[in-house]
Chains A and B, each alone.
Chain A
Amino acid sequence: AQTVTQSQPEMSVQEAETVTLSCTYDTSESDYYLFWYKQPPSRQMILVIRQEAYKQQNATENRFSVNFQKAAKSFSLKISDSQLGDAAMYFCAFNSGGSNYKLTFGKGTLLTVNP
């Protein structure tokens, strides 16, 4: 069974600075998908970024980028120029692809942005 580990229950960052959230996973699959979801206080789950394992290039979405290290099974999220609106719980999630639709989530990292 796949597992997703987020080792940082809480992180904080100063506004305009950069923060990196860690995620590691365990799988025997060679092709899979990784996601970062953001959950603000409104509880709405919002997809931040998506990475396909067969793509070596790290995904980027505006101020959000990932460092995908397939051999190390590591998938960290970097938030640049942090904004107050980035404050939220961030979840790393894994999917093994194919006919498996299940998302396996980590326990989350609560990000605080200080003004």
Chain B
Amino acid sequence: NAGVTQTPKFQVLKTGQSMTLQCAQDMNHEYMSWYRQDPGMGLRLIHYSVGAGITDQGEVPNGYNVSRSTTEDFPLRLLSAAPSQTSVYFCASSYSLYRVDEQFFGPGTRLTVL
């Protein structure tokens, strides 16, 4: 198993540009989520999904869109990038919907918005 994969690893955008951060898992996990990590802030939940076709907002959803068309993929879209979105983004997945257990994290994407 490849686990949770994220692409790209690094990205530089200009203000106003759009892009999609990709996340995929091959463990047949129902639960997937996106976090952002900022210095001194820990990780904060952006959006999450409990299955294909079902998404919901987390703590800091503004400026981000998600969709879940398959169990495996959970892309995060930035429609109009802003410098405040400079951060490291982590995707995570978990196999259980009924018991909180280990969330498996991807390697992260470092995004810089100029």
Interface set of A (CB-CB < 8 Å, partner B): 4, 9, 33, 42-47, 50, 91, 95, 97, 99, 101-103, 105-108
Interface size on B, residues (CB 8 A): 25
Interface set of B (CB-CB < 8 Å, partner A): 31, 33, 35, 40-45, 48, 50, 58-59, 88, 90, 92, 94, 97, 100-103, 105, 107-108
On whether the beta carbons of B43 and A101 are closer than 8 Å, the reply is: no
**Contact partner, A44, options B41, B43, B44, B105, Cβ 8 Å:** B105
With A43-B107, A44-B107 as given contacts, are A107 and B41 in contact (CB-CB < 8 Å)? Answer: yes
**Contact partner, B45, options A33, A47, A97, A103, Cβ 8 Å:** A103
On whether the beta carbons of B102 and A50 are closer than 8 Å, the reply is: yes
Question: Please, which residues of chain B bring their CB within 8 A of the CB of A50?
Answer: 101-102
Question: Please, which residues of chain B bring their CB within 8 A of the CB of A97?
Answer: 100
Question: Please, which residues of chain A bring their CB within 8 A of the CB of B103?
Answer: 47, 103
